[in-house]
Chains A and B, each alone.
Chain A
Amino acid sequence: MGEFNVHRVRFFDYMPSAIRALAFQPQRERIAVARTDGTVEIFNRADCFFQEKVIPGRQQAATEALAWVGDRLFSAGLNGEIIEYDLDNNKTKYTIDAYGGPIWSITSNKQGTHLAVGCEDGTVKLFEVHEDRIQFERNLAKQKGRIISLSWHPSGSKIVAGMMDVIHIFDTETGKLRALAFPSYDLLGTSRSQECVVWSVVYLSDGTIISGDSAGKVKMWDSRTGTLIKSHQVTKWDVLTLSVSQDETSLAVGTSEGHVVQFQFLSMVLGQEDKEWVRTRTFKNHTHDVRAVLEVNTAIVSGGMDTQFVVRPLLDKIDERGQASALRNIQFPHRRLVSCARKAGLLLFQYPGHLELWRLGESEGNGERKRENTTLSIKRKRWIAYSTVASFRLYRLHCENNNVSIIKVSKLPKVLSSANQICFSSDSSHLFVASTCSSVHVAILNQSGCKFVCTLKPKSGSGQAINLLAASEDGKWLASANSDHEVQIYNLNKMKPHCTVPVHSSGVSAMAIHPTTNNLFMVHADQQLTEYSVEKKQYTDWSRQVQRHGLHSLWLERDTPVTNVTFNPKNPAHIVLHDMYMFCIIDQTLPLPDQRSQFYNQLTLRSMPEKERKKHSHAFKMCKIFKELLFVELMEDQSLVVVERPLMDITAQLPAPVRQKKFAT
């Protein structure tokens, strides 16, 4: 397959931030993840937990909770504000102050008519959800102390609030504390002097209230009589979060020692109706506090301080082995954070707050510290463009020997205000900026500056944001993919839509246009590979052959999506792909691997005589010698740039865990 010089890059100190909250939207199977830096990410459960959207946010928001109301997503944070997100365009829609001090929790009722927020000042505030806004309705009876956790009864008429040492039930109609006064939570078994925080409560439809507290207990209460039914000591530390499955038969508990404990509602005597909550499984996938768990029909999803997004499948709910039955551990974003100038040998790293520009082959780095708030930035030749939530910037880069200087290009066209994706044409003459509603703005770059040309709009009129752009080498074609899985191809000569690639059920995680054949090569989140001939407006023969033949099961079972596609300029048949754990060269001239044949066969091939090698070799050449990969690119000079981010380095930067396992405890 040939040998490459490898630039092994380990100085991209990418540090994901901790997961603070999770919320599940059952109809569209979307999971929203709030991180401590204010970012909200949307994962699609149906599409192999592909990270579809990333909505940047501010760290000051200190998001504490998320809530879905139908298709709408709300979050609330310790800055006292409620945010609704614009999921089409990946940005904040509006912000409302709840005027109750820091907000600890936000939940919606099952009917989707109201939102309840729990505030520091001891009030539970009800908001009515309108078509385009939310409207404050009333305060429920004010209590002493902060409202830490909230849960609606599925009927919507009652709401339970967990506080310090107390649980209260409110009637949402009257706004009063329920006549049947709920006893104080003092229960605890711990000393009275110690305050007990009810971190999480769940109100079940049969009237049971389940609470998780800082004494490490999960308690089941009868809301009618206010009596304790059962208490489980789950951990010596805090129980931080609870989540009940939709059919209310299973409960997931996240603890601060990093364990997720499952409770199941089982009949103690088989065949009888009397059921009890029984502690069953324990999952130990986290090293730090589990701040959020979700029971998603067939899996338990959890996230916490160790920044991992863990999907633990419940094998008893899954019928067959496959993608759904694999344990997923999502650590890196499903998109590129590195951009590379292939000719100049420059790397641009995207941090949440700034960019870093590095030149290859030298140990010296050039910092480019700008307050920046994400969204893509791509640079080719002598230009750097980036976009924040609020603005779009373009810089001209001068690179002479060791002197690097950047000059801001002023007077940008007004239409370039904010971008989801940015892309330069290969000769740096054009700039493509993905904007709202799947439209792409095209601008011409020259010595004098930047001039707006036109806006490309898809025929379908989809409102979704574009998450990938790819321009062809000859400057004739531009492909865009949006989160509706649509891929649109534009003819740049005519500045018109050229065609639409047939919609695949899974989102595109990486794509590129081949420099010589002008075929659009796409990799989907479900690991399928497709190749579409732009000129012929149809799938290529190779692509059809892949579909017919099917991919090897080991390829399909990988749990991280491919995030970058490049081509080997020396050998047009070679396609270079990478995901988090491997990079791979696909040789389109070789036959596809059989289901029975050995998939990782390089070592066996090496031991074979030359003649037999041909017989056994297949199209996929995998390489796993690197640590966790953020980026792989083949440079002009046939050298390979590999940006590694070992997970060990990330773990080393985390705070010390609460608990370490000792023998025989």
Chain B
Amino acid sequence: IGIGVVIRIIVCRSSNPSDWSELSEFLLCASGDLVKVFSTSTEECVHVLEGHTGQVTGVILNPTNHLQVYSCSADGTIRLWDFIDGILIKIFVCGWPIFSIYVSEKHVGIAFITIHMEKNFQLVALHLPKVPEQEVEAREMSAVLCNISSNPGSTAMGRGGEYVASVMGRQLTVYFFKKLKTYRFSLKATDKKGAKNAFTCVACHPKDDCIATGHEDGKIRLWRNFNQKKEYTYSTQHWHHDAVGTLCFTTEGMHLLSGGVESVLVQWHCEEVNKKDFLPRLGGAISHICVSPDGQMYSTSHLDNKINIIHCSLKLSAVIQGLVKGNIWTDLMIDPRTRALVMNGRPGHLQFYSLQQDKQLYSLDIVQQEYINQEGLDQFEVMRAAFSVGGTWLATVEERGRCTSDLESSLKLWVYNEKAQSFELNTTITAAHQDRIMHMCFSPSTETTMLVTTAWDNQFKVWLLGLDSDTQKEHASWSCDYVGSYHGLQPTNCCFSSDGSLLAVSFKEVVTIWSSDTWELLTTLCQPPGPIRELCFGRLSCSKYLLGTTAKNLFCWNLLTCSLEWSTPMDVCLLRSDPLSENVVAFSLHSGNTDLFVFRPSEPRPLFTQKAVCGGKVQRCVFSPREEPLDSCDERFQWLNRSRLYFLTELMELLTFSTKAEDERILNSRKQLLVDDSVAVTPFYLLLGKHRQQQEEKQNSGVSQAADRVQPPQASVAIKELLHTPAHVLPAASFLCSMFVNSLLISNTGSRYGSLRFC
């Protein structure tokens, strides 16, 4: 990594084990190598606990101190944090990558961790030494269970830490700490009906000795009497049609919560086994459920990087949505209006993700059909999307039946409605092409609104916004203007020149240049061997250049001379130009790693090279214009001044480049939100707290009137308002300042002056 440039991982928040703070005020969530503390009332990230150098695999509250949290990571450390203030308290170095962590009140000073040892996963009891130093070596460990699953959900601590239950394959293992005895219960591989019996997850009842296990066929079994070899018993419940993803008992054990691929939270009543409540349509498949210690709140984390916070009456109270990571078919795009990153989000949706705020702005339903959460179904997916220059128009392509021969696709055009502040569907063109649409782009010219699509049916089509005289302008719709083809070859890419006068379409090895006014084939450029992969025009001063890539070479044509300006042998997998500068970025896969080159089409010498940006192939990239240009004087980083480059790796991690100075600034400006340290408004608080307040008021009232004068009531309210409102919803400080200072002034009793005025 070059000096001054840091590759910063922007988004890798994944739905990892999360836990609740004591009073269900905060939700703690592992996110990459960070632990994030979210406020449940504002959905805002309050703290980021940084320090781990590997993926955080588990977060669990310290059972003896509910203001502290343990986190474990693949870097082999357990860290103890004060999450209210975001302070690291202790580091326990274990030395083995840790896959999950379990603690219980009964085992003080011991953490149960899953590590990979002797070719299988083991649950070991790790003794956490009590020493004053911050960083401690914790080497004292003893094996509890061998050959367990590495999945954190497949092991659970039993009631009061008396036993631990773990599932693996078709076996449930229960280990009693007191008696040092292990019981194993196996299920048959399949019964006559061909049920898939393998265990998927386990949960233990907090008050009774009851173990709930989830199974691959969607069944939930409740085991009892598991301290008997033969006389154990279980009852079976079945609602899920697919594997049970996760199970969790509520704090008092009244309910059992389960979730899976159906994306429905099922609340089973432990007393009335037939009774169950549902909360459907939560998002992606549920991967983890946890319950706040006071039992008021549930949270479900989903595979699409979403956390729902649900009140125990099964009402959705907050949603924390990260960047949805699923199958990405569309390009990465920047919405010109909001500067949000736009890509595939939930199935059938486009997500608008604000990179500045690291949160989803909204999700646009493109397909407008209910998504069925079941594997193996062929459902509509958004395959392509493109924005017009000003962001007024959005074109999308959705497809179904790619794998089978009967392809269904439609091209949709969306117009931005200023009033509604959202996109509205303008035109739907079903079967715009006879085959799959491969590429599309809007013309950058401001005079006409024009869209070009290329498809596998050997044609490219030009679509225009119809301005028919007999229809009103509001109902103007899109229609096909021109159909072009070239020798029956299959078009792959298309690209407009920066002024919109020329359209370049690549047909296999040939690049054709068309005039966008007359749709006349102006010239063809050909540089065998190999078909053209990427095509892009230069910008600004380099707009006369056209860049193209094949599997072996990168070409640059001068369109004024219609000749090859230069070419260089390199395997470019991705080529993208910065709309605000002449810079072009090229990613090239080289021996398993991707190299990055930044250059100007006018000169074949790269401005900036970065070898091995990331492992594997870079999938997508995009330039995002900066709100305020940087004024970096270092020549090597000048390309970062106007725009910022984001790229998506094979592991679906979104990366970007930032300078060191910039990074420090971000660190310093990180919001430190104030924490409300008052007690939660529980029924007890309402009863006792109010009573106490009244008592205090009574006592205070007798003390003196002066006290009131020193702290006028309205002033304290204003201060409280100011200090207890989350910073991001406050108006500018300059606006608040005068009000704040005013409130500190001691006001005169109005009666005297009032009477004076009227006298």
Contacts and interface: CB of A to CB of B under 8 A. Distances in A.
B225 A266 contact: yes
B224 A234 contact: no
Contacts of B241: 663-664
Contact of B274 (A233, A269, A316, A663): A233
Interface stretch (A27-35, A277-285, A439-447, A586-594): A277-285
Interface in A608-664: 663-664
B235 A268 contact: no
Contacts of B224: 264, 266, 278, 280
Contact of A271 (B207, B226, B227, B234): B227
A179 interface: no
A266 B235 contact: no
Given A268-B208, A268-B210, A270-B227, A281 B235 contact: yes
A408 interface: no
A232 interface: yes
Contact of B159 (A269, A279, A664): A269
B608 interface: no
B233 A270 contact: no
B542 to A, nearest CB: 61
A316 B232 CA distance: 7
Given A280-B224, A282-B236, A316 B275 contact: no
A264 B274 CA distance: 17
B258 to A, nearest CB: 14
Contact of B233 (A233, A282, A316): A316
B273 interface: yes
A316 B209 CA distance: 19
Contact of A316 (B210, B231, B271): B231
Nearest to B163: A270
A280 B233 contact: yes
B130 interface: no
B272 interface: yes
A178 B687 CA distance: 46
Nearest to A270: B209
Nearest to B179: A271
Contact of A264 (B226, B233, B271): B233
B230 interface: yes
Contacts of A266: 224-225, 233
Contacts of B740: none
B239 interface: yes
A281 B232 CA distance: 11
A279 B273 contact: yes
Interface residues of A, number: 22
Contacts of A663: 241
Nearest to B229: A316
- Best-buried of A235, A270, A271 by chain B (most CB within 10 Å): A270
Contact of A282 (B208, B209, B235, B271): B235
A266 B228 CA distance: 12
A160 to B, nearest CB: 25
Nearest to A318: B230
B235 A232 contact: no
Contacts of A278: 224, 235
A150 to B, nearest CB: 28
Given A266-B224, A268-B209, A279 B235 contact: yes
Contacts of B275: 233
A202 to B, nearest CB: 19
Nearest to B192: A327
- Best-buried of A264, A269, A282 by chain B (most CB within 10 Å): A269
Interface in B227-282: 227-228, 230-236, 239, 241, 271-275
Interface in A235-271: 235, 264, 266-271
A664 B207 CA distance: 30
Contact of A664 (B239, B273, B274): B239
Nearest to A231: B272
B323 to A, nearest CB: 32
A269 B226 CA distance: 11
A260 to B, nearest CB: 13
Contacts of A280: 224, 233-235
Interface in B207-225: 207-210, 224-225
Contacts of A270: 162, 209, 225-227
A282 B234 CA distance: 10
A281 B234 contact: yes
A269 B163 CA distance: 12
A567 to B, nearest CB: 36
Nearest to B272: A233
Nearest to B162: A270
Contacts of B208: 268-269
Contacts of B210: 268
B238 to A, nearest CB: 9
B261 to A, nearest CB: 14
B272 A232 contact: yes
A444 to B, nearest CB: 55
A316 B159 contact: no
Interface string A430-450: 000000000000000000000
A557 to B, nearest CB: 15
B370 to A, nearest CB: 16
Contacts of B227: 270-271
Contacts of B233: 264, 266, 280-281, 316
A582 B119 CA distance: 50
Interface in B259-316: 271-275
Contacts of B234: 280-281
Interface string B673-684: 000000000000
- Best-buried of A233, A267, A278 by chain B (most CB within 10 Å): A278
A569 B145 CA distance: 67
Nearest to B209: A270
A86 to B, nearest CB: 40
Nearest to B227: A270
A341 to B, nearest CB: 41
Given A264-B224, A268-B208, A281 B239 contact: no
Nearest to A278: B224
Nearest to A272: B209
Contacts of A264: 224-225, 233
A7 to B, nearest CB: 33
A317 B233 CA distance: 11
A319 B207 CA distance: 32
A266 B159 CA distance: 16
Contacts of A234: 274
A660 to B, nearest CB: 16
Interface string B157-199: 0010010000000000000000000000000000000000000
Contact of B236 (A232, A271, A281, A316): A281
Nearest to B240: A664
A317 B236 CA distance: 19
A663 B224 CA distance: 28
A279 B224 CA distance: 10
Contacts of A230: 271
A232 B269 CA distance: 11
A255 B271 CA distance: 19
Contacts of A282: 235-236
A280 to B, nearest CB: 4
Contacts of B273: 232, 279
A268 B222 CA distance: 12
Contacts of B235: 278-282
Nearest to A319: B230
- Best-buried of B228, B271, B273 by chain A (most CB within 10 Å): B273
Given A279-B273, A281-B234, 17 more contacts: A233-B272, A233-B274, A233-B275, A264-B233, A268-B207, A268-B208, A268-B209, A269-B159, A270-B226, A279-B235, A281-B235, A282-B235, A282-B236, A316-B230, A316-B231, A317-B231, A664-B241
5 contacts: A232-B273, A270-B162, A281-B235, A316-B228, A317-B231
Interface of A: 230, 232-235, 264, 266-271, 278-282, 316-317, 319, 663-664
Across the A-B interface, the 4 shortest Cβ-Cβ residue pairs: A268-B208, A270-B209, A280-B235, A280-B233
